[in-house]
Amino acid sequence: MKYCARCLYPENAKPTIIFDDEGVCSGCRYHESRMKLEVDWDERLGMLEQILEEAKFMARKRCNSHDCIVPVSGGKDSHYQVWLLKKKYGMNPLLVTFNHTYNTPAGNRNLYNLVEKSGCDLVRFTAGLDSVRKISRYMLKTVGDLTWHYHAGIRTYPFQVAVERNIPLIVWGEHGFAELTGIVSLEDFVEFTRWTRKEHDMRGYEPHDLIGKEGISEQDIAPYIYPSDEDIARVEVRGIYLSNFVYWNANKQAEIMMKEWDFAPITFERERTFNLHSKIEDHANDVHDYLKYLKFGYGRATDDASMEIRHGRMTREEGMVMVKRFDSHEPSTLQTYCDFLGITKQQFYDWVEPMRDEKLWKKNAVGKWEPQDAIFLHEIGDLEKKARVKLSEESTFSEVNRRMYYNPLNPPPKTGERALDESSLSFRVI
């Protein structure tokens, strides 16, 4: 297996990455391009201001109290998006939450916090548990994805609300795929469309493809049906990504939100990553991420450590230790989801079996799957040394980042809030 000379991504990382002559991946190069001086962030901020002014103008014309929609989960990015739009640009966003039902106590705590601190209106749609169960079961079995309904719901419900309430602008946070592996460049100014929704968020499936599978009915898929082209055109809905206009530094933004609005990271050690502030609202994330490991041989520790390396907060050596510690670990919540879906663990593993990437996985003599390679088995050579970025003073495990990342030698202080201090084996539906 080939690995990036700078970060820790393997050649089979999804979505597709490519390596240049220096062995550095497209994700790392994209990250670098954001730092380069030729990106004129002032000019981009000006463009954002113009879009927001136009949205305010349209809201007035339509006698609408809300000038935009911000899809929120209660995570650090939602906090930052709402804070920026409301405090800095004087917008009156309508917060829209698609509740996928796999919530952590910490996630609920932070969503309530966001609603309280922002003073904004919130609309929250909760998917019915019966339909969630059926859809999760089917998508797990077919594409190895337990959380398809998240992505479908999060990318659909805000558009349904936009059409229903005649609000033309939806403001997303980061264009995640780009940051991960560099699939598009900053020059593309990519916007959210029906196409990106289907291809990137819904694994090529439209909701109607699910009808009749595992007893899935028309009613079950209703929350995932995108408005018609006519409706989108009539309301003139567009979806923009803030990360195209604002220099995006998730770590710094989380810090600002902790200070300004009491966004709170968790304080306990997680099973699949050292990161304490990202995706802490998503209870199924451990299993979702473990599935990625079972398919492609890498998981969240690779993602998180790669991001730290790109920012110069972690060395390649430290990153490799994280990957070794976390990526192959079976999460305790696997049993929770097997019980919820009415399957055994054996069935879970059997379903995943045909999805294993045989470039990496081979069965041994006794029929057990074994990874044939791992980043931590690779020596650091000249190519890797040359590809290193300059180290920042604020390293991942330094004192300033104590609440952001779990360091067993210097764990974060407890908050006294149970939702933040203790992990939970079960999810909260509402």
Q: Is 29 in the site for Zn ion (CB under 5 A)?
A: no
CB under 8 Å, gap of 24 or more: what pairs does 348-351 form?
Answer: 348/140, 349/294, 351/140, 351/141, 351/144
Q: What contacts 21, CB < 8 A, 6 or more positions away?
A: none
Alpha carbons 418 and 430: distance in angstroms, whole number: 17
Region binding Zn ion by CB under 5 A among candidate stretches 6-14, 258-266, 274-282, 369-377: 6-14
Region binding Zn ion by CB under 5 A among candidate stretches 24-32, 70-78, 100-108, 420-428: 24-32
Cβ atoms within 10 A of the Cβ of 369, count? 14
Q: Is 305 in the site for Zn ion (CB under 5 A)?
A: no
Smallest distance, Zn ion to C-beta of residue 316, A: 10
Tokens at 84, concatenated = 């920026």
Q: Is 25 in the site for Zn ion (CB under 5 A)?
A: yes
Give the number of residues in contact with Zn ion, rule: CB under 5 A. 5
Smallest distance, Zn ion to C-beta of residue 126, A: 38
Say if CB 111 and CB 72 are below 8 A apart. Answer: yes
Q: Is 4 in the site for Zn ion (CB under 5 A)?
A: yes
Smallest distance, Zn ion to C-beta of residue 375, A: 11
Region binding Zn ion by CB under 5 A among candidate stretches 18-26, 153-161, 195-203, 405-413: 18-26
- Among positions 108-137, residues that touch Zn ion (CB under 5 A) are none
Smallest distance, Zn ion to C-beta of residue 323, A: 13
Q: What is the CA radius of gyration of the chain?
A: 21
Nearer residue to Zn ion within complex by CB, 7 or 216: 7
Alpha carbons 40 and 37: distance in angstroms, whole number: 7
Q: Which of 6, 31, 283, 288 binds Zn ion (CB under 5 A)?
A: 6
Q: Which of 7, 135, 221, 307 binds Zn ion (CB under 5 A)?
A: 7
The closest of 234, 189, 170, 238 to 47, measured between CA atoms, is 189
Nearer residue to Zn ion within complex by CB, 7 or 320: 7
Alpha carbons 208 and 279: distance in angstroms, whole number: 29
Smallest distance, Zn ion to C-beta of residue 14, A: 14
Nearer residue to Zn ion within complex by CB, 17 or 216: 17
Q: Is 28 in the site for Zn ion (CB under 5 A)?
A: yes
Region binding Zn ion by CB under 5 A among candidate stretches 5-13, 157-165, 204-212, 270-278: 5-13
Say if CB 214 and CB 138 are below 8 A apart. Answer: yes
Region binding Zn ion by CB under 5 A among candidate stretches 26-34, 209-217, 284-292, 375-383: 26-34
Region binding Zn ion by CB under 5 A among candidate stretches 21-29, 141-149, 262-270, 340-348: 21-29
Q: Is 276 in the site for Zn ion (CB under 5 A)?
A: no
Residue 124, judged by CB atoms within 10 A of its CB (0-12, 13-18, 19+), counts as middle
Residue 133, judged by CB atoms within 10 A of its CB (0-12, 13-18, 19+), counts as middle
CB under 8 Å, gap of 24 or more: what pairs does 229-233 form?
Answer: 229/194, 231/163, 232/159, 232/163, 232/194
Nearer residue to Zn ion within complex by CB, 5 or 210: 5
Nearer residue to Zn ion within complex by CB, 25 or 139: 25
Distances (CA, A) of 168 to 83, 206, 231: 20, 24, 11
Q: What contacts 165, CB < 8 A, 6 or more positions away?
A: 64, 66, 94
Smallest distance, Zn ion to C-beta of residue 182, A: 9
Smallest distance, Zn ion to C-beta of residue 22, A: 11
Nearer residue to Zn ion within complex by CB, 25 or 178: 25
Tokens at 66, concatenated = 């809300």
Query: Beta 121-126 vs 93-99: how paired, if at all?
Result: parallel
Nearer residue to Zn ion within complex by CB, 7 or 115: 7
Smallest distance, Zn ion to C-beta of residue 389, A: 10
Residues at the contact surface with Zn ion, assessed by CB under 5 A? 4, 6-7, 25, 28
